[in-house]
Structure 1
Amino acid sequence: MLKDIKLGFKLLRYGYKLKLNVIMFVFFAVIGIASDIMSKGTSIIGGVYFMMCGMFTFQLIMSMDVSELIQSTSLKKKLQIYIPVMSSTVINLVVFTFLVIERVILIQNSVADKKQLIFTLFTLDVELLTVYLYTSICYKYYVLGFIVFMVLFMGVFTVFSGAAFVPVSNAVFKLGLPVVALLGYIAILAGGAFEILIGELLYKKPLSEFAFRGFFRDAK
């Protein structure tokens, strides 16, 4: 497993449009960190931007699967299923740990409302699962993946900001930060396992040309 993770990060340099993706990675990381710090952890926006770093990592590795050279090697299946999932999961674990530590510091220093800090972290737990679901199918069925992602993503926002906000936030607050943080780590690991399972089921399906339209266009 560690070898596959190391290989994944080594192979990032060969991903499609590396410079652009690295720039976007850094951009979203900086915006995410800045937004979360400025909102003192009470807004989900910063965390969402920050968590997209894992998605860019996944995307870079997946972009190599279009290569005919990769298609003819023994790494084909690993590069399409296991390596991108494990590499992006490592990034997600690092990002989530940062968000947890930030909230611990903010709560200890009474900088922001404790209930709101815990609730935003819980919301990110749920959104993490949504992201894993999206990346598990979008590179095979791009349109379907995008629709499912938007419906679930906006659904979570709507439910958690609507009439259900007060009862849900109260229930989440009772769980406490340690439990909510633990649920986040479980969501990441379970999401990764689910993504691998879906990857196995869809492995023989062709890659979506729409998802890799830039690559196919440049190859012409």
Structure 2
Amino acid sequence: MLKDIKLGFKLLKYGYKLKLNVIMLVFFAIFGIASEIFSKGTSIIGGVYFMMSGMFTFQLIMSMDVSELIQSTSLKKKLQIYIPVLASTVINLILFTIFVVERVVLIQMGVADKTQIIYTLFMLDVILLITYLYTSICYKYFVLGFILFMVMFMAAFMALDNSAFMGFADTIAALGLPVIALFGYIAIFAGGALEILIGELLYKKPLSEFAFRGFFRDAK
């Protein structure tokens, strides 16, 4: 497993349109951090953008599967299922830890409502699971994956946002930051396992040309 993780990070530099993806990654990271600073941890938006870095890692590795050369090697299955999941999960673990530490600092400083700070972390836990489900499907069935993501994201966001006004946020906050953070780590590992499971089930299905757009044309 460790060798696969190392290989995944080594292969990132060979991903399709690396510079563009890095620029987008930096943009989302900066936007996420800025949103966190201005909202003082009371908004979910910053966390969502900040955690998207894992998706870029997954996409860069997956993009190499478009190449006919990769399609003919023994690494094909690993590059399509295991390596992108392992590499992006490591990134997500690091980013989520940074996010949790930031929440601890914000609570210690008392700059915002503690209940809201913990509750937005719980919301991010839920969004993480939805995102893992999306990435497990979208590279084979892009339209279906996108529709499922939007439906689940909007349903979860509206349900959780409305729940805050019905005392649910207080119930979640009462569990404490350590427990909610633990839920997040469980969500990351469960999401990674889900990606691998669905990846195995969909392995023989062709990659979605719509998902990769120009990838197929340029990679050949």
Is 1:7 matched with 2:29? no
CA distances 1:102-154 after superposition (whole Å, capped 9, x unpaired): 01011111111100000000000000000000000000000000000000111
Aligned position for 2:99:
99
1:95-134 pair list within 5 angstroms: 95-134=95-134
When the two chains are superposed, the root-mean-square deviation of aligned CA atoms in Å is: 1.2
* In structure 2, C-alpha distance between the alignment counterparts of 1:29 and 1:86, rounded to whole Å: 21
Residue segments in structure 2 that go unaligned for 5+ positions in a row:
none
Aligned position for 2:61:
61
User: Do 1:58 and 1:85's aligned partners in 2 also have CA atoms closer than 8 Å?
Assistant: yes
Deviation at 1:200, TM superposition (A): 0.5
Distance 1:111-1:162 versus aligned 2 partners, 3 A rule:
same
* In structure 1, C-alpha distance between the alignment counterparts of 2:97 and 2:37, rounded to whole Å: 15
What SS is found at the alignment partner of 2:211? Answer: coil
* In structure 1, C-alpha distance between the alignment counterparts of 2:88 and 2:213, rounded to whole Å: 22
1:143-182 pair list within 5 angstroms: 143-162=143-162, 165-182=165-182
* In structure 1, C-alpha distance between the alignment counterparts of 2:35 and 2:173, rounded to whole Å: 23
Aligned position for 1:185:
185
| Percent of aligned pairs with the same amino acid | 78
Deviation at 1:30, TM superposition (A): 1.2
What SS is found at the alignment partner of 1:89? Answer: helix
Q: Which amino acid aligns with 1:70?
A: I
Aligned position for 1:199:
199
User: Do 1:18 and 1:60's aligned partners in 2 also have CA atoms closer than 8 Å?
Assistant: yes
Distance 1:95-1:71 versus aligned 2 partners, 3 A rule:
same
Aligned position for 1:138:
138
Aligned position for 2:72:
72
CA distances 1:62-121 after superposition (whole Å, capped 9, x unpaired): 000010111111110000000000111111111111110001011111111100000000
User: Do 1:159 and 1:165's aligned partners in 2 also have CA atoms closer than 8 Å?
Assistant: no
Deviation at 1:166, TM superposition (A): 2.8
What SS is found at the alignment partner of 1:105? Answer: helix
Q: Which amino acid aligns with 1:29?
A: A
TM-score, normalised relative to structure 2: 0.97
What SS is found at the alignment partner of 1:162? Answer: helix
What SS is found at the alignment partner of 2:73? Answer: coil
* In structure 2, C-alpha distance between the alignment counterparts of 1:92 and 1:122, rounded to whole Å: 15
* In structure 2, C-alpha distance between the alignment counterparts of 1:52 and 1:188, rounded to whole Å: 13
Q: Which amino acid aligns with 1:74?
A: S
Deviation at 1:4, TM superposition (A): 0.6
* In structure 2, C-alpha distance between the alignment counterparts of 1:71 and 1:178, rounded to whole Å: 44
Aligned position for 1:212:
212
Deviation at 1:201, TM superposition (A): 0.6
Structure 1 outlier segments of 4+, above 3 Å: 217-220
